[in-house]
Structure 1
Amino acid sequence: MPGYEIKLERIAIAGADDLVIRSLLDRQQFSDPLGAAAAQGISSAAWPMFGLLWPSGAQLAARMAVHPVVIGARVLEIGCGLALASLVGHRRGNDMTASDCHPLAAGFLLENLRLNALAPMKYRRGHWGMREMNAPGDVLGLFDLIIGSDLLYERDASGLLAAFIGRHAGPAAQIWIVDPDRGNRPAFNRQMADEGFGMCEERLDQRASQGRVAYRGRLLTYSKRRAPQP
């Protein structure tokens, strides 16, 4: 690939069959000759982050591996990067839409679908760092489950991520965010509360063992608060 190097790996996912994943070779890769990433506000330091596999993404994929498939339910992954959780959910028969703001995310998804002999999957641009633009290819509509992993790595004083989720969450939607104990979590919880969501959390800590790396983090589950009955 011109401008950056890649690798292929067979990735083990708890509760699911392995996936073959094309990713960037390492976090030193960068190629933005036309400034497409810069136009989305993606710096050279942040550019490779979409194309790497992250521990929280593996945790989210494992959760999707055991999530019951509900016919007609729409699932959106936001900030998908290499979309490991979306690939797992798609292979199990969920109506998945993967989304990210990185200009190369869609191409990597297409190749990883091909590598695993999977049918086409929906992909939309999702950029909560910009005000809603409704441009062609952007995330549209409401979803029954919205998922994401390691999204709280930057301070979001304006609550753009929570507002983005609120715009695309159906009336009975659940939101799953796998978070490796980022310091921005309390502010995000308050912003989600302002959007009308209640929250519960589950620790996902695991010790290292043979074939399994250590992990510290939690699953944050949000759902719309029910209006009080008259």
Structure 2
Amino acid sequence: MSADAGAIDSLPIVSAPGYLTKQESIAVHGVPNLLVRSLLDKQQFYDPEDAALALGISSAFWSLFGLLWPSGSRLAERLALRPVSTHERILEIGCGLALSSLVGHRRGANITASDCHPLAGEFLRENLRLNKLSPMNYQHGHWGQHTAQHQDPTVNSRFDLIIGSDILYERDEQGDLAHYINEHLEDHAEVWVVDPNRGNRAHFHRNMAAQGFSLREEVLDISATETEAAYKGRMLTYLRD
């Protein structure tokens, strides 16, 4: 990782109907800086037609998709180092602002971003435009019981690599996430999850094992620098037994 990996240079704040946003220059080692439009802060909320609520996203969680998170930066750095293969299909689940997908797309990877938030696709398309990147695949991806209508096509195919960051925010006793991953993964494929030491890893490990996956776990303990905060978490790599 370079000294400026994860560095952020703020640009002027811009507004959007119902909420405030900002643009930042994000440095990820291995690719040129990316301009990323995000929500101004966690206090933003705009769901006039209850589209998010119908998908199970309350006002308390509405803004989380539109913020940059440390685990997302760690995942983007890993993907920036992965050799690009035109035959490999990658899916990012719970992508939020899709930093990893933007990195992969810029490098020429065949990557699809997915999220359940009704504005995630709109933000991705804007960030592609800001970086003068060609269109990329975005699909609605939602594990669990919510079946509300949405405007984007639903993830309905299989991939060679599924990636996600900070997605273990529930105990998920029913194993919905592990089942969803298994349903969309090719045989002999792999799964990457970057987790900021939340307390739900044990449940996820058990659920993934029930789907036939083995785990390789790497401790991430990154010291703070002048441009980057300290980070502690885990890089979880799952392979089929």
TM-score range, shorter chain: over 0.9
Instruction: Report deviation, 1:155.
Output: 1.8
1:158 aligns with 2:183: no
1:182 aligns with 2:205: no
The C-alpha deviation readout for 1:100-150, integer Å capped at 9, x for no partner, is: 000000000000000001010000000002278998711011100000000
Normalising by the residue count of structure 2, what TM-score does the alignment of the two structures yield?
0.91
What SS is found at the alignment partner of 2:189?
Answer: strand
Q: Does the aligned pair in 1 maintain the 2:89–2:110 contact within 8 Å?
A: yes
Q: Does the aligned pair in 1 maintain the 2:72–2:165 contact within 8 Å?
A: yes
**Aligned partner letter, 1:46:** F
Change in CA separation of 1:163 and 1:134 when aligned onto 2, cut-off 3 Å: farther
Structure 2 partner of 1:228: none
1:71 aligns with 2:86: yes
Map 1:108-187 onto structure 2 (within 5 A): 108-130=123-145, 137-187=153-203
Normalising by the residue count of structure 1, what TM-score does the alignment of the two structures yield?
0.95
Instruction: Report deviation, 1:222.
Output: 0.2
Which of 181, 202, 215 matches 1:199?
A: 215
1:209 aligns with 2:237: no
Question: Unaligned 5+ residue runs, structure 1?
Answer: 226-230
**Aligned partner letter, 1:186:** A
**Aligned partner letter, 1:164:** Y
**Aligned partner letter, 2:83:** P
The C-alpha deviation readout for 1:169-217, integer Å capped at 9, x for no partner, is: 1001110000001100011000000001001111121010121210000
- For residues 122 and 172 of structure 1, the distance between their equivalents in structure 2, rounded to whole angstroms, comes to 23
The C-alpha deviation readout for 1:45-74, integer Å capped at 9, x for no partner, is: 000000000000000000010011112110
Q: Does the aligned pair in 2 maintain the 1:16–1:62 contact within 8 Å?
A: no
Change in CA separation of 1:131 and 1:46 when aligned onto 2, cut-off 3 Å: closer
What SS is found at the alignment partner of 2:27?
Answer: strand
Q: Does the aligned pair in 1 maintain the 2:55–2:147 contact within 8 Å?
A: no
1:82 aligns with 2:97: yes
Structure 1 partner of 2:5: none
- For residues 193 and 205 of structure 1, the distance between their equivalents in structure 2, rounded to whole angstroms, comes to 26
Percent identical across equivalent pairs? 58
Structure 1 partner of 2:13: none
**Aligned partner letter, 1:178:** V
Instruction: Report deviation, 1:17.
Output: 1.5
Q: Does the aligned pair in 2 maintain the 1:80–1:148 contact within 8 Å?
A: yes
* Matched pairs, number: 225
- For residues 140 and 74 of structure 1, the distance between their equivalents in structure 2, rounded to whole angstroms, comes to 13
- For residues 114 and 12 of structure 1, the distance between their equivalents in structure 2, rounded to whole angstroms, comes to 18
Structure 1 partner of 2:71: 56
**Aligned partner letter, 1:220:** L
Instruction: Report deviation, 1:16.
Output: 2.1
- For residues 132 and 222 of structure 1, the distance between their equivalents in structure 2, rounded to whole angstroms, comes to 28
What SS is found at the alignment partner of 2:77?
Answer: helix
Question: Unaligned 5+ residue runs, structure 2?
Answer: 1-15
Let me know the Cα RMSD of the aligned residues: 1.5
Structure 1 partner of 2:4: none
